[in-house]
Amino acid sequence: MTIDIRILGGGKEVGRAAVFIEYNGRGVLMDYGVSFDENDIPQLPLHINPQKIQAITLTHVHLDHLGAIPYIYISKSPPMYTTRITIKLSRYMLEDFLKLSGYYLPFEYNEVLSMIDSSKPTNYGEIIELDNMSIELRDAGHIPGSSMIKTYIKDKTILYTGDINVIETRLTKPLDFTSLSDVQVLIMEATYGAVTHPPRKLIEELFIESVREVIENGGTVLIPAFSVGRSQEILSLLAEKAPYLNVYYDGMVRTISDVMLEEKNYLNKPGLLEKALREFNRIRSWSDRRKALKSPSVIVASAGMLKGGPALYYAKKLSDSPKNAIFLVSFQAEGTPGRNLLKLGKMFENQELVKARIEWFDFSSHAGKDGLLKLIKQCKNLEKIIIIHSDEETAHTFAKHIEENIGIETHIAENGDTIELE
Ligand SMILES: [Zn+2]
Ligand SMILES: [Zn+2]
């Protein structure tokens, strides 16, 4: 009897992560996310027979891991194991997702509720015994509450990384490097497998300096940021290094930050986020929005790629003056207004060139090449690596690097692949 690892999504793509680990006809579904096509229509992972699913695990609340899970709950109600903060946050993420893309989705709010009802808050390090395997969550260091998932089946130990980071930030500690020596099979993300991130401290100094410059010249800085993770990191950074600035925050970041403070245990430095929410200005109304635009200020708002939300409203308002700035701090997917802004100097085809200063800062919450290799080296009994959550070119570059430096068999997964372990 073999152990089958099925890649349902995230093969040669950054998006719709989904892995199914099966043994003897039953298995665990790890993430079931969505990606978006060029028309912004959500794409689901490959189908999996719900009868085979004995449990679901969710690594974190980003939509490329969470977005399609409610679909499973149309026909079945398997338990979903994840951290408590992830359960709380997933409700808001899915509500927002339904609001924006509900028309294209094969599930409704009922399935979201049924998913939440079936959720089992799980601590890092707790062993969950299932029918024919057991699983364990370990801190992934990516965003608060994010997990890697260890699976123990027969004599095999498999680690699925989800999204990982290896540096300390104000929000997160590095991923948990302990308890990796027994891992034999590693299913890993390699979003930045071909990149070495510049030192975070340097980026932070550059960022704060640039923000200050714009304000001193009488301009306003817009910081479009993902509502989970990046916004709170930026707010915490500003609270620590530039608390005297006039800072506003707007959009989903408000609710998400509140939930994070309810679940402080998952934050590395909760005091800073607390300080940010206490001392900075929460936008509550349209008159607040107009007020924020009246005098030099910093505005942190979702969405991170300027696809919508208050960030897009502010971006349009601030575009016309060279005094203002738009500082992007998140990954910008191809075809999004944020990517267009960096590439073409404007968000939309029919728009005039944006006069505001545009910059991008590498605040990535994903490990770069060195961090990924560090993880691999900690897995002392490794037999096989499966690369997912990476574009094809990056995956090849990273795989070559592994083979040359570490010499472990590496498989670049495609959607639909089944990897059999003896
Ligand atoms: Zn993520
Ligand atoms: Zn991801």
Distance 422 CA to ligand 2 centre (A): 29
Domain residues for 128? 3-195+365-421
Q: What proportion of the chain, given as a percentage, has pLDDT over 70?
A: 100
Q: What is the pLDDT of residue 331?
A: 87
SS3 254: helix
Distance 96 CA to ligand 1 centre (A): 17
Q: Which regions of 239-383 does DSSP assign to beta strands (E)?
A: 247-250, 281-282, 298-301, 325-328, 357-360
Instruction: For residues 119 and 135, state if they share a domain.
Output: yes
Q: What are the pLDDT digits (tens) for 49-59? A: 999 999 999 99
Joined together, the tokens standing for residue 240 give: 């620590």
Instruction: For residues 138 and 86, state if they share a domain.
Output: yes
**Boundary-marking domain end, from 308, 331, 360:** 360
Instruction: For residues 76 and 164, state if they share a domain.
Output: yes
Among the bound ligands, the one closest to the CA of 17: 2
Distance 410 CA to ligand 2 centre (A): 20
Q: What are the pLDDT digits (tens) for 266-302? A: 999 999 999 999 999 999 999 999 999 999 999 999 9
CATH code, domain carrying 231? 3.40.50.10890
For 195-213, the DSSP string reads --PPPHHHHHHHHHHHHHH
Bridge-based pairing state of the strands 3-9 and 418-421: antiparallel
Instruction: For residues 68 and 210, state if they share a domain.
Output: no
Q: What is the pLDDT of residue 334?
A: 83
Q: List the beta bridge partners of residue 136.
A: 127, 150
CA atoms within 13 A on the CB side of 150: 24
Q: What are the pLDDT digits (tens) for 358-384? A: 999 999 999 999 999 999 999 999 999
Q: What is the pLDDT of residue 333?
A: 85
**Boundary-marking domain end, from 310, 333, 360:** 360
Among the bound ligands, the one closest to the CA of 389: 2
Distance 60 CA to ligand 1 centre (A): 7
Neighbours of 79 (CB within 10 A): 15
- The pocket of ion ligand 2, defined by CB under 5 A, consists of 64, 163
The span from the CA of 226 to the CA of 333, in Å, is 13
Q: What are the pLDDT digits (tens) for 149-159? A: 999 999 999 99
Instruction: For residues 229 and 104, state if they share a domain.
Output: no
**Boundary-marking domain end, from 335, 360, 385:** 360
Q: Read off the pTM.
A: 0.96
Instruction: For residues 231 and 338, state if they share a domain.
Output: yes
Q: What is the pLDDT of residue 335?
A: 86
Instruction: For residues 41 and 189, state if they share a domain.
Output: yes
Q: What is the pLDDT of residue 39?
A: 87
Q: What are the pLDDT digits (tens) for 318-363? A: 999 999 999 999 989 888 999 999 999 999 988 999 999 999 999 9
| Number of structural domains in the chain | 2
Instruction: For residues 190 and 271, state if they share a domain.
Output: no
Distance 295 CA to ligand 2 centre (A): 37
Distance 358 CA to ligand 1 centre (A): 25
Instruction: For residues 13 and 51, state if they share a domain.
Output: yes
The span from the CA of 8 to the CA of 29, in Å, is 10
Q: What are the pLDDT digits (tens) for 227-253? A: 899 999 999 999 999 999 999 999 999
Tell me how far CA of residue 126 lies from CA of 77, 81, 322, in angstroms.
Answer: 22, 11, 53
Q: What is the pLDDT of residue 422?
A: 85
CATH code, domain carrying 67? 3.60.15.10
Distance 66 CA to ligand 2 centre (A): 9
The span from the CA of 77 to the CA of 54, in Å, is 9
Q: What are the pLDDT digits (tens) for 93-136? A: 999 999 999 999 999 999 999 999 999 999 999 999 999 999 99
Distance 142 CA to ligand 1 centre (A): 7
Distance 239 CA to ligand 1 centre (A): 24
Instruction: For residues 147 and 10, state if they share a domain.
Output: yes
SS3 223: strand
Instruction: For residues 378 and 256, state if they share a domain.
Output: no
Q: Please, what is the average pLDDT of the chain?
A: 96
Question: Has residue 38 got a pLDDT over 90?
Answer: no
Question: Has residue 222 got a pLDDT over 90?
Answer: yes
For 308-335, the DSSP string reads SHHHHHHHHHHTT-TT-EEEE-S---TT
Instruction: For residues 101 and 159, state if they share a domain.
Output: yes
Q: What is the pLDDT of residue 291?
A: 95
